[in-house]
A = this chain, B = another copy of it.
Amino acid sequence: MDGPRFEPVRAVRAYERVVEQVEEAIEGGTLSPGQRLPSERELMVQFSVSRSTVREALRVLQARGLVRSRPGDPNGAEVLPFSPAALHKSMTTLARVEELSLAELVQFRMVLDSSAILLAARLRTDAQLADMESAVAGMRAAVEAGHDAFGEADVAFHDVVARSSGNKLIQICMDVVRSIVLKLIAEKIADAPDREALMRQSIRHHEEVLAAMRAGDGPLAARLSRKAMYDYYAGYVPAAERSSLRALLD
């Protein structure tokens, strides 16, 4: 026997215990979205801490996207429904701190997008397929309307696909990573010399993927989507890292 092994009691600050309790109440369902927390002055009585402490705790909870408070609101802070905002934030930070290269982000998109397509090809409903059709139609219509509209239609297509995959985690991550990638290369895309040709090629690619999905051939659709994304983004990735992207092509 080593004798009783005592853990070092790391000092736990007061506001942390407040955060903990509220967090458990929310995650445990005692507090559900839409409900209100007591006012700060009431909380400071219940927890018997000062208002500063209560407020620091609320700031943390707010940063985690769990609650929101509005000045002047006669009720206390509002418990929010979950939103991937916090996830989005931390992933964006990860990318911004330059820890992530564009190649890694694009590669991740290739993985997620093709997986979503594979799943959607097998699990989609007819209504969802129709939504995809109309999204591609929207892309066609947007060629003339300028680059912004085209981008939006493109995003709409991938959104439908992500929803059709039936996996919310894939959907959220795709959304997050896509917006990061688009922000990173927004100006480069706008300056592309042959924008219209790129758009038409992109539409052709989407039509091919869609056809494969309609036919129920998931693996083909997935393969086509990886190829399409490679063709679209490879130019923006430093040549040295392109081979790691090609490793995902068959």
Contact = CB atoms under 8 A, between A and B. Distances in A.
Interface of A: 11, 15, 26-27, 29, 52, 55-56, 59-60, 62-66, 71, 82, 84, 86-87, 89-91, 93-94, 96-100, 104-105, 107-108, 111-112, 115, 118-119, 122-123, 166-170, 172-173, 177, 218-219, 244, 247-248, 250
A93 B64 contact: yes
Contacts of A84: 90, 94
B86 A90 contact: yes
- A interface, over-half SS: helix
Nearest to A170: B108
A14 B65 CA distance: 19
Contacts of A177: 169
A194 to B, nearest CB: 30
Contact of A97 (B15, B27, B59, B107): B27
Contacts of A250: 219
Contacts of A55: 52, 56
A108 B169 CA distance: 7
A111 B100 contact: no
A168 B97 contact: no
Interface centre among A59, A105, A122, A172 (most CB of B within 10 A): A59
A133 to B, nearest CB: 21
Nearest to A172: B94
B65 A90 contact: yes
B247 A119 contact: yes
A94 B119 CA distance: 22
A237 to B, nearest CB: 13
B87 A91 contact: yes
A19 B116 CA distance: 36
A111 B112 contact: yes
Nearest to A13: B71
A250 B219 CA distance: 9
B82 A99 contact: yes
